[in-house]
Amino acid sequence: MTLGVGQAFPQFSVKATVSNDIKTAFVDIDNNTYKGKWLVVFFYPKDFTFVCPTEIKAFGDLNEEFADRDAQVLTGSVDSEFVHLAWRKDKEELNDLPFPMLADVKRELSTALGILDPNEGVSQRATFIVDPEGIIRFVMVTDLSVGRNPKEVLRILDALQTDELCPCNWTKGDETLDVNKLAA
């Protein structure tokens, strides 16, 4: 069962690919690496596939906007750090990816999150927004064949960071709901 809103993001420690240079490509990342920051963690099924690079590039295109909101983007799959490196080098739109690619090769994080697909044995297409205290504030899981919308994830992060009531289709800069005015 997928972990949900209000639950703690699980403890983890994985290798991650952060560059295309074999000398500096790999780092260890765990729960303390980005302590005190918002996390946007999105998983995808496999490297060298078709839908996945479109999503990863789209999140990469918005990376500065996430960073402006004190959020660290992380992506991951069950592929190894070496497969991530090969894919980054092979796929032009991933060459300069600005965030780490987590290598959940033991499938421990995917299992702890409840997103290991029982039929395919890969991470499901799942997105988590985690607050600075390590609590999951948003979860979305789509079919393996359906890409997600990073702009919507950014909109939801904006709404969560207001700590206010945000109506349907709310966007940054819009008014939030004032319960006192609504009750009057």
Active-site residue, selected from the candidate residues 25, 29, 41, 52: 52
* Interstrand relation of 26-30 and 13-17 (parallel, antiparallel or unpaired): antiparallel
| Long-range contacts of residues 111-119, Cβ cutoff 8 Å, at least 24 apart | 112/3, 112/10, 112/11, 112/12, 113/2, 113/3, 113/9, 113/10, 113/43, 114/1, 114/2, 114/3, 115/2, 115/43, 115/141, 116/78, 117/45, 117/144
Confirm whether 166 is a catalytic residue.
Answer: no
**Catalytic center residues:** 52
